[in-house]
Amino acid sequence: MCGIVGYLGKGQAYPALIKGLKRLEYRGYDSAGVALISEDGSLNVYKAKGKVADLEAYCADKDVSGSVGIAHTRWATHGEPCSANAHPHYSSSEKLALIHNGIIENYAVLKEKLQAKGYIFKSSTDTEVLVQLIEYMKVTNQVSLLTAVQLALGEVIGAYAIAILDKEHPDEIIAARKSSPLVVGIGADEFFLASDATPIVEYTDKVVYLEDGEIAVL
């Protein structure tokens, strides 16, 4: 089982994300990663094969500033365990970053369509297909990220819990689920996101479990 953590608030996101990933280590995993919108507006994605401690070591000399971020621990399903296949995944423009639990069953068909439109893939995961599809919907239809997520998920067959960041909207996380659990924690001027309540309980007792087919805008 992969693990999802997200944070949006007034504090620094990175410490809460790393602590949350450590709380999810019991699920087992082979790689870990984090995406942060930094104080200078950059969307930074850092990931590493191995344990959360390996990710921490990799991030030691990186810019981990920012008050919004998402993080993930991955069990390899599509593609071998390596940093390229670890989550989060960038879109082609690197304006979007996405984490995902579950399996997109029709990813090969969607990938073929996107490749025909000029999209280039850096991993062998179904997750990268989804973030590219969301960007394609956003750009070609000139719509908001929320609408793009809705349009993209309408094309998807399979199970998912996702969280996505948009560099152009640094005060927002969009999350959605179908057949894979996702919970939102509501704190004082801050929000938490996780695949189960374990990383959230020390911060707040106000939690909302998303229902199948629901999208949350934090």
Contact 210, 216 (CB under 8 A): yes
Q: Which residue has the tokens 């949006």?
A: 8
Predicted confidence (pLDDT) at residue 57 exceeds the cutoff of 60:
yes
Residue 86 has pLDDT above 90, yes or no: no
Q: Are 164 and 173 in contact (CB under 8 A)?
A: yes
Query: To the nearest 10°, the Cα dihedral for 82, 83, 88, 90?
Result: -110
Q: Hunting for tokens 């071998």 — which residue is that?
A: 80
Please say if the pLDDT value at position 120 is more than 90.
yes
Average pLDDT of span 94-116: 96
- The mean per-residue pLDDT over the stretch 140-151 comes to 98
Does pLDDT of 42 surpass 90?
Answer: yes
d(Cα 145, Cα 168) in Å, to the nearest integer?
Answer: 10
- pLDDT at position 2, please? 78
pLDDT tens by residue, 159-195: 999 999 999 999 999 999 999 999 999 999 999 999 9
